[in-house]
Amino acid sequence: MLSRLLNTKEDFHVHTSHNDHSAPDLNVASAVKYAEEIGLRTLAFTEHVRRESTWIDSYVDEIEKVDAKSNLKLITGFEAKILRDGSIDCLPRYSEAYFVIASFHTIYGNKEIWMNAIKNAIQNPDVNVIGHLAPEPTFYLDNKELIEISELLKDHDKIVELNAKYHRPPVDWVLKFKEYNVKFHLGSDAHSLKEIGDFRRIHRLVEIVCSNS
């Protein structure tokens, strides 16, 4: 998963019908079957989670049952919302035990709040990946701020996701992260079967990360 070793046979961001906006046929078994058919080797299930979510144990059990019969490497995980203070919307007993993508799903409309939140999320030891990272529409990061984020990502060994659904991060961010030897991996952010392992929309980002320059 190092920056120059991106593997298009690995998808680290796949949802299921445990949320209320994925395709109804996107369950764990169907996702694994489709992933096997298209030649994937690794699949991370990262369902949207909240602290009050009540389906988590059944979701984990479902993955474990399918994993026992699959040749794929399956990863059980969650996508947790980054909250205003930079904490994540996931109970510690789950974030400590499973793979976690931390992502913004709220526009705070304030650069200072956003910066504080992302820095705290990056420093959270339970967070493995920062998902679909990009600025809010009302601001951009200057070079100094982008360097600060890059150094934090590197120092805390966080992976930055190249997100196929939202085409993120921005190219200049990817270049800066690469300069600071930040790790990357691929995430389709699939909410339907056909989106699993489909990284065509981010082929340019993949090329940038994998180039020697």
Write down the pLDDT at residue 24: 80
Structure tokens at 115: 């910066």
Strand order in the sheet with 129-130: 10-14, 42-49, 73-81, 99-103, 129-130, 159-163, 183-187
The yes or no reply on domain 10-77+129-151+159-210 and CATH 3.40.50.300 is no
Write down the pLDDT at residue 2: 39
DSSP string, 50-111: -TT-S-HHHHHHHHHHHHTT-SSEEEEEEEEEBPTTS-BSS-HHHHTTSEEEEE--S--S-H
pTM: 0.95
Question: Tens of pLDDT along the chain (213 residues)?
Answer: 334 479 999 999 999 987 767 678 889 999 999 999 999 999 999 999 999 999 999 999 999 999 999 999 999 999 999 999 999 999 999 999 999 999 999 999 999 999 999 999 999 999 999 999 999 999 999 999 999 999 999 999 999 999 999 999 999 999 999 999 999 999 999 999 999 999 999 999 999 999 987
Write down the pLDDT at residue 72: 96
Write down the pLDDT at residue 74: 98
Write down the pLDDT at residue 3: 42
* Alpha carbon 64 to chain centroid, angstroms: 21
The structural domains of the chain, with segments of one domain joined by +, span 10-77+129-151+159-210
Write down the pLDDT at residue 1: 36
